[in-house]
Amino acid sequence: MRRMQGSDYAHLLSPGRIGAMALRNRIAMTPMGTNQERDDGFLGERILGYYEARAKGGAGLIIAGVAAITWPDGACNPYQAALSDDRFLPDWEEFARRCHRHGAKAAAQLQHAGKVAQEDVKAGRPMWTPSEPTPGNRSDMFADLTPTEMAQATSAYRAPGAKASYHVMDEADIAWVVARFADAAARAQAAGLDGIELHAGHGYMLQAFLSAKSNRRDDRWGGSLENRARLMTEVIKSVRERVGHEMAVWCRIDGEEIGVTGGITLDDAVEAAVLAEAAGADAVHVSAYADPTSGPAFTEAPLPHEPARYLPFAAAVKKRLSIPVIAVGRIDPEVGNAAIAQGRCDFVAMGRRLLADPELPNQLAAATPEKARPCIYSYQCVGNAFLRIRSQCTINPQMGEEFRGVPAGTNAPRRVAVIGAGPAGLEASRILAERGHTVVLHEAAAELGGRLRVSAALDPQVEELVRWYEARVREAGVIVRTGHNVVPEDISSTADHFVVATGAVRRGQCPGAETAVPAEAIADLLLESAPGRVAVVGSDVIGVKAAEALALAGHDVVLIESGGFAPQMGLPRRWRAADALARCGAERVAVTAVESIERDGVTVTIGDDPRRLDVERVVWASGLTPGSSLADALRAAGKSVTTLGDAASVGYLHAAISDAAAFASEL
């Protein structure tokens, strides 16, 4: 890939203005619900550190997500910050200070969750809506959850006193809510924030009024688009009256309710944006929404899997407005820079890219974008939010832990031999070398990456991560030795400490397993074989990704499941995989046991009944067990040894990287 220069991002990095708010560049951190806040409405040190890292990383604007205006009423997350009372102001003052000390501007996104306020359900309060909700589609979001995940996802509905009910808002309710938005904005201004975003998207209260799907009123708050937008415009006017023009005020809207019959269309969004500008908004932030009962739809909106999915929406809105437009939705820096240059938007909001690496804006400015850790779009960040627990990033273990600080350099440098260059070995080597240890990384294969190479063959984003690790370990000064199997006698005197990160080994667990194509060779199978009927034995991450890739390539796939459907995958990614298999006509068979594998079939037990599956090829993606033999031998020789990643316990990518980072930060 061509090395980009700072000038290649000249438009994205140029100063900009939203109302009275002058910004150093056109990169905003999009507001996200991450459950990193405290459970009492206060921000807390964890989320403050998280925001400060992104301000320090060079973003021009930090927008704090979903600040509840009537907390705890109308809140959607168990850990959600509030701007509903003056007692919360000290935390917001600290948020503003931390953004400003690094040259970023600070804003809060004001929200009332309305018809999706799970904290109201949990407390037995009715959820506020414009109209009584109509029965929706049967949800597919629970089909592939583990029992633990199911308990987490439904915890609000199982709490003592929980009750799912609705309250249709009357004139007094609407006036009260408008006043609460204005009160919260005034608090944000008093705390020293520079801007306010009013959340009028993603199913929350203002969006529920905007959408004809959820707003079926026949009074002045429903019917025509102008009436449906009235709550949003009244809130804008009320906020503007309270904060004046010294504070930037804008709204976030949905460019479309994708796939929702009777929902918001792009024409609706454009006209709503025009009304927002007339009401006094300084900008419009254009996102999208989709069917909230569908897991696969969630990666259509509000979290697009398709790059730059919503950019056409922003461009359509931009044509009608004289105020700035903020685009969002998996927009890479090159695409965002071009969009600004072409006049399709004025600012670009980034979310997942800044979770993976807060320093991305600084790296763009330094003309070293390749140094920013790439997002692999595995969706664990938002998947955890569905489970009502703290968000995590699969590949950035510091996300949500920034308040603990970066690993300090060592005062006692050691010679460390790391054996195995999979994700755990790479992450440990990188951090150990950066802290001042002398690190030699040994890898049996000719290339670095280990089991990451298997995923990379199926997923281009993972290939980017492999390249990033290759460059970073060498940049850190790690001595890399590839292409040889390590035995204890070779290295027993070369280091003070040994890290064994050789990963898991795949063992056959039934007769004939050795005749199957190992999952590690799935790329060869995709390249070499004509479409045919293929059985994939095993439904962990690799098994499901292999089945998905084969199905999309035209093979007739039977996925033989045991132990659940890729429980290691973030939920939205899991939903996408299940949807892809269903659309391709793949068969999923949950089995009690795999009895044998033959040249032209697989014999399984389902319940107590045997069944033979006739296929042309079999892919073996089961039987992963920790590879501990080298560690055992080194310990037997009296060496100081740490075992990491799947060599210690099969936990896949997030666990491997997190465990390695924790160890390497402390040695």
Mean of pLDDT values over 30-45: 95
* Assigned domain for 560 exists: yes
Of 402, 423, 452, the last residue of a domain is 402
For the domain that residue 131 is a member of, what is the CATH number? 3.20.20.70
Amino acid 84: pLDDT:
97
146 lies in which domain range? 6-402
Asked whether residue 380 falls in the same domain as residue 494, the answer is no
The answer to the question of residue 342 being in a domain is yes
The band of 7, judged by pLDDT with boundaries at 50, 70 and 90, is: low
Give mean pLDDT, residues 57-74. 97
* φ, ψ of residue 28 in degrees (nearest 5): -110, 145
Residues 558 and 412 in one domain: no
Across the chain, what does the average pLDDT equal?
93
Residue 336 falls within a domain, yes or no? yes
| Residues 204-245 pLDDT 10s | 999 999 999 999 999 999 999 999 999 999 999 999 999 999
Identify the pLDDT of residue 2: 43
Average of per-residue pLDDT across 261-268 = 96
Last residue of a domain, one of 402, 422, 450: 402
Which of 130-139, 187-196, 408-417, 601-610 is the least confident region?
130-139
Question: Considering the domain boundaries, does residue 1 fall inside one?
Answer: no
In-domain check, residue 74: yes
Which residues, at least 6 apart from 661, have a Cβ–Cβ distance to it below 8 Å?
397, 398, 427, 428, 431
Tell whether the model's pLDDT for residue 629 goes beyond 90.
Answer: no
> How buried is 23 (Cβ within 10 angstroms: 0-12 exposed, 13-18 middle, 19+ buried)?
buried
Of 482, 510, 384, 386, which Cα lies nearest the Cα of 426? 482
Q: Mark which of 402, 420, 450 sits at the end of a domain.
A: 402
Q: What is the structure's pLDDT at 1?
A: 39
CATH number at residue 534: 3.50.50.60
Instruction: State pLDDT tens for residues 510-563.
Output: 898 888 888 888 777 777 778 889 999 999 888 999 999 999 999 999 999 988
HEC string for 276-326:
HHHHCCCEEEEEEEECCCCHHHHCCCCCCCCCCCCHHHHHHHHCCCCCCEE
Catalytically active residues, by annotation: 204
Both 151 and 281 in one domain: the answer is yes
Token pair of 435 as six digits: 């802290």
What DSSP character marks residue 124?
Answer: T
Query: Are residues 47 and 59 located together in one domain of the fold?
Result: yes
Rounded Cα distance, 348 and 344, in Å: 11
What pLDDT is stored for residue 460 in this prediction?
Answer: 84
Q: Residue 164 — φ and ψ, nearest 5°?
A: -95, 110
Mark whether 115 and 256 lie in a shared domain.
Answer: yes
291 and 391 inside one domain: yes
Q: Are residues 561 and 645 in the same domain?
A: no
Axis crossing angle, helix 423-435 with helix 460-475, rounded to the nearest 10? 30
Same domain as 169, residue 237 = yes
Q: How far apart are CA 256 and CA 539, in angstroms?
A: 35
Tell me whether residue 578 is in a domain.
Answer: yes
Same domain, 175 and 230: yes
Of residues 488, 491, 483, 373, the one with CA closest to residue 440: 491
What are 136-191's pLDDT values in tens digits? 777 888 889 989 999 999 999 999 999 999 999 999 999 999 999 999 999 999 99
Let me know if residue 646 belongs to a domain.
yes
Residues 448 and 499 in one domain: yes
Q: Report CA 10 to chain centroid distance, whole Å.
A: 27
Reported as a pLDDT band with limits 50, 70 and 90, residue 636 is: confident
Q: Is the domain of 380 the same as that of 414? A: no
Query: Which string of b and e fits 626-662 if b means at least 16 CB within 10 Å?
Result: bbbebbebbbeeebebbbbbbbbebbbbbbbbbbbbb
**Does residue 86 form part of some domain?**
yes
| pLDDT tier, 506 (very low <50, low <70, confident <90, very high otherwise) | confident
pLDDT at 633 over 90: no
Do 154 and 277 belong to one domain? Answer: yes
- Cα–Cα dist 78/350, whole Å: 24
Residues 6+ apart with CB under 8 A from 60: 16, 23, 24, 25, 26, 27, 28, 104, 105, 347, 361
Per-residue pLDDT of 531-544, as tens digits, reads 889 999 999 888 99
**Contact at 8 Å (CB) between 397 and 658?**
yes
Query: Residue 647: which CATH number?
Result: 3.40.50.720
- Cβ 537 vs Cβ 618: under 8 Å: yes
* d(C-alpha 522, C-alpha 499), whole Å: 29
Reported as a single tens digit per residue, the pLDDT across 93-140 is: 999 999 999 999 999 999 999 999 999 999 999 999 999 998 877 788
User: Cα 342–347–353 angle (5° rounding)?
Assistant: 110
* Residue-wise pLDDT tens digits, 449-494: 988 888 888 888 899 999 999 999 999 999 999 998 887 777 777 8
Q: How many domains does the chain have?
A: 3
pLDDT value, residue 489: 77
